[in-house]
Amino acid sequence: MKTYINSLLFALLALASVRADLPIHCLKSQVEGKWTFQLEEKVKGLNPLENHCGHSMPDDEKTSYLSKKDTFAPVSTLTLHLLPDGTVSANKLTAMLRMKQQTALLDGPALKDQFAEMKKQAEVQKHQRLRKEDQEGFSALLKKVSPQNRFYDNSWTMIYDEGFEVTYEHQKIFVFSQYYPDPKNSSVMLSNCSASIVGWYHNYLTDEYTCIRGARDGGANKQTRFSQTETETESKGPFLPGDFKEHQMMAERLNSLGLSWTSGVSEDFQGLTVDEMHSLAGRKSSLREFQRYSFKTTQQGYLKAVSEDVSDLPSDFSWEHAMGKVKNQGKCGSCYIFAFLEMLHTRLRILHGDETELSYQHAMDCMYFNQGCQGGFPTLVAKFGNEVGFIP
């Protein structure tokens, strides 16, 4: 049986996922290191929707970097080491040891001995900091927290190339890297990967919220450029120009290849240019930015997958009965919200037979992590649902 696929949508998705939202570009290697975070006064039991920290709902790339820029009032600091292996340490000795482990500067018995000694010193320092009654109070509170809500993995991860999230003991920090207009050319945004704009802090144990910002100690101002002029103009690449809209011709060319599916043009996309399709996908960048990427790795992964033995799997399997009706997002670059919530709806139907549908509009209008119709990331939709919640 052949499958009907819209040709332009296929062409776009075959090249890249959504690349939109904030004009930031930072690599993990530019972020890792010792960070000192400044925190405003913590508020217990705050409605998470009120903890927007100066960001609009939905967020706006034109103003996000200005959020609380002149009103941020820190009252405390927190120093954490974000290590190359994705772990986090507040102790300098432990951080140094892990760094040595990860750069292979130590090995064998010497490594084990030094690790044991440093671990011992770290424990001594920890108990010196915590008085006995503090430790007892902490243990009592810990017993009240359900296992699934104990955030003690002490890790950090990049949120695409725009920010990072830190989990340390019972605390979560999420910030976007700092960005600002180039003083010499306002159409170009500069990213400072050694600092953040104002972001969000949540203590899951005490249920305290506040706003937070950070800077990497001793880090040079590692700037990267993000040109709005280059990314918003039409593509000059060899694949599809920004004003291309001959979709029927593309469909016929695809069908001439004799593939296992049939290409066609959806009525919703008739007459739209590639740039307009980018807008619907929440993308600001043209296809030419992906010309430098190689698909060799993807092809190798595909060949490996199709060559594996799958004889133990059923020949036919489908969750189609659990999938809802196709939604139309209109002229709004919100595919990341629709995709995530449809996935969640399907899982609820499969697991619980629950037909409840969650509000797309609520996730669109009330989310300060993403940029609404201007694009965003499913990961941050999940974060919003976890920390704020969805409504039917």
Cα 68–chain centre separation: 22
**CA 12 vs CA 90, 156, 263: distances in Å:** 44, 31, 14
Whether residue 217 lies inside any domain: the answer is yes
| Bridge partners (DSSP) listed for residue 88 | 82
Where on the phi/psi map is residue 372: left (φ > 0), alpha (ψ -120 to 50), or beta?
A: left
Q: How many CA atoms lie within 13 A of 245 on its CB side?
A: 13
Domain harbouring 169, CATH code = 2.40.128.80
**pLDDT score at 331:** 80
Whether residue 303 lies inside any domain: the answer is no
Within a 10 A sphere around the Cβ of 124, how many other Cβ atoms?
A: 10
Which of 158, 192, 221 terminates a domain? The answer is 221
Within a 10 A sphere around the Cβ of 211, how many other Cβ atoms?
A: 26
Residues 64 and 192 placed together within one structural domain of the fold: yes
Whether residue 318 lies inside any domain: the answer is no
- 229-260: pLDDT as tens digits: 444 434 344 456 767 778 888 888 888 888 88
Whether residue 44 lies inside any domain: the answer is yes
**pLDDT score at 1:** 39
SS3 322: helix
Whether residue 247 lies inside any domain: the answer is no
Q: Return the structure tokens found at 273.
A: 């240019």
Whether residue 272 lies inside any domain: the answer is no
Which of 194, 221, 248 terminates a domain? The answer is 221
Residues 208 and 343 placed together within one structural domain of the fold: no
Residues 335 and 211 placed together within one structural domain of the fold: no
Total-model pTM: 0.70
Whether residue 207 lies inside any domain: the answer is yes
- 264-293: pLDDT as tens digits: 888 877 888 877 777 776 655 444 444 444
Backbone angles phi, psi at 46, to 5 degrees: -70, 140
Whether residue 248 lies inside any domain: the answer is no
Which of 221, 249, 271 terminates a domain? The answer is 221
H, E, C per residue of 167-230:
EECCEEEEEEEEEEEECCEEEEEEEEEEEECCEEEEECCCCEEEEEEEEECCCCCCEEEEEHHH
Give the domain range for residue 170. 28-221
- 100-143: pLDDT as tens digits: 554 444 445 555 565 566 556 655 555 554 444 444 444 444 44
Percent of the chain's residues with pLDDT above 70 = 66
User: How many distinct structural domains can be found in the chain?
Assistant: 2
